[in-house]
Amino acid sequence: MTKNMTEGSPMKLILGFSIPLLVGYLFQQFYSIVDTIIVGKYLGIESLAAVGATGSVCFLTIGFCGGTCSGFAIPLAHKFGAGDYVGLRKFVANTIYLSLFFSVVITTVTAVLCRDILTWMRTPDNIINESVDYLFIIFLGIPTVFLYNVAAGIIRSLGDSKTPVYFLLLSSFTNIALDLIFIMKFGMGVKGAAYATVISQGISGIACVWYMIKKFEILRINGDEWKFESHMMGTLCKMGVPMGLQYSITAIGGVVLQSATNTLGSMAVASITAGSRIANILGCPFEALGNTMATYGGQNVGAKRLDRIGVGLKECLKLGIGYSVGIFVITLFTAKYMALMFVDASELQVIENVKMYLYVNTGTYILLTFVNVVRFLIQGMGFSGFAVIAGALEMVGRALVAFTFVPLFGFMGTILGNPMAWIFADFFLIPAYFHVMKVLKKRLDYSSI
């Protein structure tokens, strides 16, 4: 059931671990895209824009939840790599306690402030009510986000990247079915899309917990292992909160950029919505490679196998760069058809906007390769604080675009937000990796890398 990533070919381990993750991310994005397609095709451009206007603030909150859960899994990977299964179970127990606390607090705060947030973002008047309807339901579903991400993170920390994918497949098909029922049959509008997302996320979370309890004997917590351990909670927060903040700080830049885009009208918002949904699915390999390197780095640091980390990084970067080049070439010939999945052929301006968005983003995916692979590796090695700095730099990059390029160039300015953010992050992350390796050499008294 588990996989030890401290022995064997790094390339084979990375591929074997990342491919199931990739399938999972693709299906996760798939049902997000289905939401968007059904909304755009059956409810119209304004409803599509209403859902899209919530994208950056959803990423701010949901990204914090997912990032925090990923951070919680790092000490677990360290304990598993070191063979300390009692310590592993104690960390799992304290992870559960912290996740319950965070889910309640975040759900309460975001649900109360839902309309205020969208007002502050200058959401156009003609779509703000639908945006509130959608976002409020998504926020109420935050506990299901924690449920799935915590369970999946625990399972992946043990080297099993396949099982969470199976339950995501179930969740994806459930989401599609509920979309069709809620929107097309019951006429629930954007609320139906939100309910479908939350319910399907909850199903995948419950399935992961059931499987984890049933199949992993080393996770069966007994007696004193359920005790609150303040030092363990401190370690979990030290790893989890910075990773969550990294996503949230990054998303703040997205919120600023979204606010600037909102001033361009619902047509521009709809274009960004469709373009970003496509870019999200095209970017899934980078998420898979990044999360693979977090587990790979965590286990090898726990086993004091620093010699394997540099080799693994090189192999992972080869995969990411190769994909970046290939997907850019494919996008040059298929961007128009991707756009037509979301809007009618008569929406010529939206189609042209989406094409340009995709050309610029996929053309700079090599930058994203370094951002995800290096950042997640550093996090897995136990230096989550650097993720916050990288996230802050991404925020600065997007804010710079929002305040300078968008007023000057309109929609063309908005599509430079991601590449600028990646450039800013890479300038920090690449030297940060070498610094981390130097620190670990001294800390672990390890002489060769």
Residue 449 domain-assigned (yes or no):
no
**Mean pLDDT throughout 36-47?**
77
pLDDT recorded at residue 163: 84
Across the range 308-322, mean pLDDT stands at 93
Angle between helices 45-52 and 266-282 (to 10 degrees): 60
**Which is more confident, 52 or 138?**
138
Number of domains in the chain: 1
pLDDT score for 430: 94
Instruction: Report the pLDDT averaged over residues 173-190.
Output: 87
| DSSP one-letter code for 304 | T
User: How many CB atoms are closer than 10 A to CB 234?
Assistant: 11
Q: Which residue has the higher pLDDT, 44 or 308?
A: 308
The domain containing residue 123 runs over which residues? 10-444
Which token pair is 363? 């053309």
Q: How far apart are CA 437 and CA 15, in angstroms?
A: 23
> Whole-structure pTM over 0.75, yes or no?
no
> Phi first, then psi: what are they for 304, rounded to 5°?
60, 40
Nearest Cα neighbor of 182 from 197, 193, 198, 170 is: 193
Q: Which pLDDT belongs to residue 15?
A: 87
Q: Does residue 447 register a pLDDT over 50?
A: no
pLDDT in tens, 55-75: 778 877 888 888 888 889 888
5: in domain: no
Nearest to 167 by CA among 190, 185, 144: 144
Q: What residues contact 305, with CB distance under 8 A and at least 6 apart? A: 6
Q: What is the DSSP letter of 161?
A: -
Q: Is a pLDDT exceeding 60 seen at residue 448? A: no
Mean pLDDT, all residues of the chain: 85
CA 119 to CA 323: how far, in whole Å?
A: 39
pLDDT in tens, 337-386: 888 877 777 777 788 888 899 999 999 999 999 999 999 899 888 887 78
Average pLDDT over residues 33-53: 76
Q: Is the pLDDT of residue 277 over 90?
A: no
Q: Is residue 296 part of a domain?
A: yes
Q: Can you tell me which residue has the tokens 């990977």?
A: 77
CA angle 304, 309, 312 (to 5 degrees): 140
- Cα–Cα nearest to 211, from 142, 299, 143, 148: 148
pLDDT band at 446 (very low <50, low <70, confident <90, very high): very low
Q: Is residue 3 part of a domain?
A: no
Q: Which pLDDT tens digit goes with each residue over 74-122?
A: 888 888 878 888 998 999 999 999 999 999 999 999 999 999 988 987 8
Q: pLDDT, tens digit, for every residue of 227-273?
A: 998 999 998 998 888 778 777 776 677 677 777 777 777 778 778 77
**299 vs 23, 52, 171, CA distance in Å?**
23, 38, 29
DSSP 118-151: HHHTT--TTTHHHHHHHHHHHHHTHHHHHHHHHH
CA 44 and chain centroid, separation: 27
Exposure string over 237-269, b if 16+ CB within 10 A, otherwise e: bebbbbbbbbbbbbbbbbbbbbbbbbebebbbb
- Give the side-chain half-sphere CA count within 13 A for 148: 25
Q: Tokens standing for 238?
A: 């030290």
Mean pLDDT value across residues 152-166: 83
Which of these, 392, 378, 403, 393, lies nearest to 424 by C-alpha position?
Answer: 393
CA distance 348 to 262: 20
Helices (H), 39-141: 45-52, 55-82, 85-112, 114-120, 128-140
State the pLDDT at residue 7: 83
3-state helix, strand, coil in the chain (%, to 5): 85, 0, 15
What is the pLDDT, as a whole number, of residue 251? 67
4 within a domain of the structure (yes/no): no
CA distance 283 to 366: 11
Burial class of residue 105 in the structure, from the number of CB atoms within 10 Å of its CB (0-12 exposed, 13-18 middle, 19+ buried)? exposed
* CB crowding 74-94: b at 16 or more within 10 Å, else e: bbbbbbbbbeeeebbbbbbbb
Would 95 be classed as within a structural domain? yes
Q: Return d(Cα 313, Cα 63) in angstroms, integer.
A: 24
Q: If you write DSSP's letter for every residue of 238-302 in order, what string do you get?
A: HHHHHHHHHHHHHHHHHHHHHHHHHTT-HHHHHHHHHHHHHHHHHTHHHHHHHHHHHHHHHHHHH
Rg of the Cα trace of the chain? 21
pLDDT band at 315 (very low <50, low <70, confident <90, very high): very high
Cα–Cα distance, 266 to 264 (Å, whole number): 7
What number is the average pLDDT over the span 419-430? 94
Residue 332's pLDDT band (cuts 50, 70, 90) = very high
What whole-number percentage of the chain has pLDDT above 70? 96
Residue 83 lies in a domain: yes
Mean pLDDT of 276-297: 87
Instruction: Name the amino acid, one letter, at 230.
Output: S
pLDDT of residue 29: 73
Cβ burial of 399 (10 Å; 0-12, 13-18, 19+) is: buried
Task: Please tell me which of 208-222, 307-321, 408-422 the model is most confident about, judged by mean pLDDT.
Answer: 307-321
CA distance 82 to 85: 9
Flag whether 266 is in a domain.
Answer: yes
